[in-house]
A and B are shown apart, each in its own frame.
Chain A
Amino acid sequence: MKNTRYVLFGLSVLCVCMIGITTLNSGLLNPLRDAVGYVLVPIQSGINRAGSGIYNEVRNLGTMKKAQKENEALKARVDELTEENTRLRSEQQELERLRELYELDSQYMQYNKVGARIIAKDTGSWFSVFRIDKGSDDGIMENMNVIAGGGLVGIVTDVGANYATVRSIIDDSSRVSAMAQQSGDTCMVSGDLKLFNEGRLKLGYMEKDDDIKDGDMIVTSNISEKFLPGLLIGYATDITVDYNDNLTKSGYVIPAARFDRLQEVLVITDLKNAGPEFNEQ
């Protein structure tokens, strides 16, 4: 009994020391993390594959009828969209011509991407962190941006040999420097556990005169340190002038990516500091 107590205190002190050391230098842990990853990731991806297989099968049976009805509606929609697509394509060509005219770099949407599957989530509901089945062996590096469903999902915070950890933008500690696509006025999108239960993110750091209105597209800003410019985050809503100082505005963002249904994501392998032009290495 005495012995256990000594061990307990010894371990506690050790833990506190390790928390201190690894907070300052998390690189020390990489070999250990890799080792755990080699054991855990195959198990996790196996369970995930089996689990989602069963789940999808069950869901498929349930939604077959709905799907048939939806199919008809979608066929009509396809015709509509094909027509729209041809129109847009011609407009796109015109845009490209004009861009060349203005010698503008069409730097957006040319990023290199790698697809990855989400294999595990955090153990509770406090943090919105998940793990994907690609790691440094597949060229994933820290601070790479992750997107899905046309919108920004998060950023890689930690990489092992065969896995990577992604912190989503809905995590309570996430802050993304953003701007309104139309006006270019900068703002800050931050995650908030409380707001996310309502399906929203917080939008702040706007001046009163900034031209950001409800429904505006909010994208990652040019001046962000880690996020590539021009990635869609979501749409602004409920923007109001702050009551207490009357100088700033704040509001909410409805994210473009559907966080409750994420299964596959795309990791953009271009890093912000390298820039899209220097991706040959």
Chain B
Amino acid sequence: MNSSLKQISLNLILIILAFSIQTCVFPLIPFLSAYPNLMLILIFSFGFIRGSASGMTYGLVAGLLMDLSSGGALGFYTLFFIWMGYVNGIGTKYYYEDYITLPLALSAANELAYNLYLYVFGFLLRGRLSFGYYLINNILPETIFTVVTTLAVYRVFLFISRKMEEIGKRRDTTIV
């Protein structure tokens, strides 16, 4: 009981930390023209490492956080993120411990899908048609930053995930 509470709070802290860094710290760095999407990396990594159910839960919590702090309609980000967590969870089958190529490819694919989602519902529906321009000036820079950050952060998340699994296992043994 105690250790599962510990796991939940650890996960929550991780999400809030990622969110705060993304909204408060990155905008302060003046030479960044785009910044990496940490929330996205967090959700898809945990989905990919731990499976659909965890990915979806992560997506749900992170999405709600973003929805409630963005001031838009509730559910806009949540809808995308639960699907992202779920779909990346399917990839768990192909998951090897120290294998970085697939996470990088996933990171790029997720980032593109996410930006496409924002473009279609935030811009295309209001008649902004020049997708090519947005692709070059908004989507690609952010994707590149995100992929590079994934390279650095993915192993940290992997480490945290393993630690959390250990906490979970310790609980099982103490019960038995």
A→B interface (CB under 8 Å): 1, 4, 7-8, 11-12, 14-19, 21-23, 26, 29, 32-33, 36-37, 39-40, 43-44, 47-48, 51-52, 55, 119-127, 129, 131, 157-158, 165, 172-173, 193-194, 197, 260
Task: Name 5 extra pairs, CB < 8 A, besides A129-B71, A131-B23, A131-B69.
Answer: A11-B78, A21-B74, A44-B20, A47-B21, A124-B142
Complex CA–CA separation, A157 to B23 (angstroms): 18
**Is B168 on the interface with A (CB-CB < 8 A)?**
no
- Expressed in whole angstroms, the minimum distance between the Cβ of A36 and any Cβ of chain B is 4
B109 within 8 A of A: no
Question: Who on chain B is nearest to A24 by CB?
Answer: B73
Q: Is B138 part of the binding interface, using a Cβ–Cβ cutoff of 8 Å?
A: yes
- In the assembled complex, the CB of A155 is this many whole angstroms from the nearest CB of chain B, namely 12
**How far is A131 from B22 in the complex, measured between Cα atoms in Å?**
13
- Binding stretch for chain A, among B1-9, B98-106, B116-124: B116-124
Contact of A4 among B56, B123, B128, B130 (CB under 8 A): B56
Q: Provide the bound-state CA to CA distance between A32 and B16, in Å.
A: 16
Among A14, A26, A36, A173, contact of B73 (Cβ-Cβ < 8 Å): A26
**Number of interface residues, chain B, beta carbon within 8 A:** 50
In the assembled complex, which residues on chain A have CB atoms less than 8 Å from the CB atom of B137?
A: 194, 197
Cα–Cα distance between A157 and B70 once the two chains are bound (Å): 10
* The one of B20, B74, B126 that contacts A43, using a Cβ cutoff of 8 Å: B20
**In the complex the two chains form, is B119's CB within 8 Å of A126's CB?**
yes
B49 interfacial contact with A, CB 8 Å: no
B76 CB contacts on chain A under 8 angstroms? 15, 19
Q: Are B37 and A123 in contact (CB under 8 A)?
A: yes
In the complex, chain B residues whose CB is within 8 Å of the CB of A193: 123, 128, 134, 138
Q: Which residues of A contact B133 (CB under 8 A)?
A: 194
Q: Which listed segment binds A: B79-87, B148-156, B158-166?
A: B79-87
B20 → chain A closest CB, angstroms: 5
Chain B contacts for A40, CB-based, 8 A: 16, 19-20, 65, 69
Our pick among B28, B69, B89, B134 for the contact of A55 (Cβ within 8 Å) is B28
Instruction: Name the CB-closest residue of B to A130.
Output: B27
* Between-chain CB contacts (< 8 Å), 13 pairs: A8-B52, A12-B82, A26-B73, A37-B69, A44-B24, A51-B25, A52-B28, A123-B23, A124-B35, A124-B142, A125-B141, A129-B70, A194-B133
In the bound complex, how far is the Cα of B51 from the Cα of A253, in angstroms? 50
Q: Are B53 and A4 in contact (CB under 8 A)?
A: yes
Cα A11 to Cα B60 in complex, Å, equals: 9
A21 CA to B67 CA, complexed, in Å: 14
A122 B70 Cβ-Cβ under 8 A: yes
Distance of A122 Cα from B22 Cα, bound (Å):
9
CB distance from A220 to the nearest CB of B (A): 22
Instruction: Evaluate contact between A15 and B28: CB separation under 8 angstroms.
Output: no
B71 touches A157 (CB 8 A): yes
Task: Write out the residue numbers on chain B whose beta carbons fall within 8 Å of the beta carbon of A131.
Answer: 23, 69
Query: B25, B74, B82, B122: which contacts A18 (Cβ < 8 A)?
Result: B74
State A18–B138 Cα separation when bound (angstroms). 28
Among A4, A7, A123, the residue within 8 A (CB) of B39 is: A123
Give A52 to B70 CA distance when docked, in angstroms: 22
B14 within 8 A of partner (CB) = no
Also in contact, A123 and B34, with CB within 8 A (given A12-B82, A23-B73, A40-B16) = no
Chain A residues positioned under 8 Å from B122 (CB to CB): 126-127, 172
B66 close to chain A: CB less than 8 A:
yes
Asked if residues B82 and A8 are in contact (CB atoms below 8 Å), the reply is yes
Whether B20 lies near A36 (C-beta < 8 A) is no
B63's nearest neighbour on chain A, judged by CB, is A15
Question: Which B residues are in CB contact (< 8 Å) with A8?
Answer: 52, 56, 82-83, 86
Give Cα A199–Cα B117 distance, bound, in whole angstroms: 26
- For B141, give the chain A residue with the smallest CB separation: A125
Residues of chain A within 8 A (CB-CB) of B21 are 47
From B87, which residue of chain A is reached at the shortest CB distance? A8
Are B69 and A36 within 8 A (Cβ)? Answer: yes
CB of A263, distance to nearest CB on chain B (Å): 9
Complex alpha-carbon distance, A208 and B8, angstroms? 63
With a CB–CB cut-off of 8 A, which chain B residues contact A22? 73-75
